[in-house]
Amino acid sequence: MNQADAERVQAVMAKMGYEATEKEEDANVIGIIACSVRQKAIDKVYSKIAKWNKWKNKRNLITFVSGCILPDDHEKFLKLFDLVFDMKELATFPAMLSQYGVTTPVSNFGRINDDELIKAATPASTAEKLGFSGLKPASKVAAAPQTWEVEPVYNSSFEAFIPIQNGCNKFCTFCAVPYTRGREVSRPSADIIEETRNLIEKGYKSITLLGQNVNSYGLDKKGEELSFAQLLDELGRMADDSGNEVWIYFTSPHPRDMSRDVIEAIARHHSLGKQIHLPVQSGDDKVLIRMNRKHSMERYREVVGWIHELIPSATLFTDIIVGFTGETEEQFENTRAAVREFKYNMAYIAMYSPRPGAAAYAWQDDVPHAEKKRRYAILTSDLEAVAIEHTQKLEGETVRVLVRGKDRKDDFLSGHTEGKITVRFASDDDSLIGSFVDVKIESVRPFSAEGQLVKAEVEI
What DSSP string runs through 230-249?
HHHHHHHHHHHHHSS--EEE
pLDDT at 267: 98
Q: Beta-carbon neighbour count of residue 77 at 10 Å?
A: 22
Distance CA 267, CA 242 (A): 18
287 with 246, same domain: the answer is yes
Last residue of a domain, one of 121, 152, 186: 121
Give the residue ranges of DSSP H helices in 313-368: 329-342
Last residue of a domain, one of 393, 422, 447: 393
CATH number of 409's domain: 2.40.50.140
387 with 399, same domain: the answer is no
pLDDT at 133: 40
Distance CA 277, CA 333 (A): 22
* 158 Cβ contact partners less than 8 Å away, ≥ 6 residues apart: 203, 204, 205, 206, 402, 433, 434, 435
CATH number of 349's domain: 3.80.30.20
Closest alpha carbon to 5 in 179, 155, 189: 155
How many domains are contained in the chain? 3
Within a domain: 353: yes
177 with 259, same domain: the answer is yes
Within a domain: 130: no
Q: What are the φ and ψ backbone dihedral angles of 100, each rounded to 5 degrees?
A: -65, -40
Q: Residue 448 pairs with which residues in a beta bridge? A: 422
Radius of gyration over every alpha carbon of the chain, rounded to an integer in angstroms: 23
404 with 372, same domain: the answer is no
Within a domain: 248: yes
Entry pTM: 0.84
Within a domain: 279: yes
Cα distances (Å, whole numbers) of residue 99 to 3, 195, 222: 26, 33, 42
* pLDDT by residue, tens only, the chain of 460 residues: 888 989 999 998 988 888 999 899 999 999 999 987 777 888 899 999 999 999 988 888 999 999 888 888 888 999 999 999 888 888 888 888 877 754 443 333 333 344 443 343 333 333 233 333 444 333 333 455 677 888 888 999 999 999 999 888 999 999 877 877 788 999 999 999 999 999 999 999 999 999 989 989 999 998 899 999 999 999 999 999 999 999 999 998 999 999 999 999 999 999 999 999 999 999 999 999 999 999 999 999 999 999 999 999 999 999 999 999 999 999 999 999 999 999 999 999 999 989 887 899 999 999 999 999 999 999 999 999 999 999 999 999 999 999 999 999 999 999 999 999 999 999 999 999 999 999 999 999 999 999 999 977 655 4
219 with 307, same domain: the answer is yes
Closest alpha carbon to 128 in 30, 194, 201, 45: 194
Contact of 27 with 105, CB cutoff 8 Å = no
What is residue 219's DSSP assignment?
Answer: G
DSSP strand pairing (346-351 vs 412-416): unpaired
pLDDT at 125: 35
322 with 373, same domain: the answer is yes
Give the residue ranges of DSSP H helices in 164-296: 177-180, 189-201, 228-242, 260-268, 285-290
pLDDT at 188: 95
Within a domain: 260: yes
Last residue of a domain, one of 393, 410, 438: 393
340 with 199, same domain: the answer is yes
Within a domain: 132: no
Within a domain: 158: yes
Distance CA 82, CA 397 (A): 54
Cα distances (Å, whole numbers) of residue 16 to 19, 98, 105, 238, 451: 9, 9, 7, 35, 46
Cα distances (Å, whole numbers) of residue 411 to 158, 438, 448: 22, 18, 17
Cα distances (Å, whole numbers) of residue 376 to 197, 212, 250: 42, 24, 26
Within a domain: 17: yes
Distance CA 35, CA 66 (A): 9
Stated as kind and residue range, the H or E segment containing 390 is helix 369-394
212 with 250, same domain: the answer is yes
3-class secondary structure, 206: strand
279 with 303, same domain: the answer is yes
Q: Residue 74 pairs with which residues in a beta bridge? A: none
188 with 116, same domain: the answer is no
325 with 381, same domain: the answer is yes
Closest alpha carbon to 416 in 274, 269, 278: 274
- Residues spanned by the domain of 113: 2-121
340 with 249, same domain: the answer is yes
